[in-house]
Amino acid sequence: MPYIAEDKRRVVTRLRRIRGQAEALERAVEAGTECAQLLQQLAALRGAATSLMTEVLDMHLRETFVTPPAQTTPPDAQALNHAVDEVMRIVRAYVR
C-alpha cells in the first residue's frame, strides 16, 4: 500500500479513472454496443489495471528494499534502486 501522500493520491486518481472506464463499459453493454467496441474498451480497462498494478508493485518494492528501517545501517540506495529498476523491467515485460 502506498504510504507517501503523493503516491496515495496518484493511486486513488488512477482508481477513479478505472472506475469511470468500468462504468462507461457497463453503459455500453446496456446500450447494446457492438462487440468490437466493447472489446476495445475492455482492453483499455485491462491496460489501466495492469499499469496501476505495476505502479503499486514498484512503490512496494521501493518502500520495502530502498527505504531502510530506522534501526539499520542504510544500504547503498543507488544499488538498491538499480535492483528495483531491473525487477520492474522484468515484471513489466511479463504483465503486458
6 to 25, 55, 65: CA distances (angstroms)? 29, 13, 19
Residue numbers of the domain that contains 51: 5-95
DSSP 32: T
Q: Which three cell numbers stand for residue 83?
A: 535492483
DSSP 1-34: ---SHHHHHHHHHHHHHHHHHHHHHHHHHHTT--
pTM score of the predicted model: 0.72
- How does DSSP classify residue 71? T
Domains identified in the chain, total number: 1
List the CATH number of the domain containing 77: 1.20.58.1000
The model's pLDDT over 31-82, given as tens digits with 9 standing for 90+, comes to 999 999 999 999 999 999 999 988 888 888 888 777 666 655 666 778 888 8
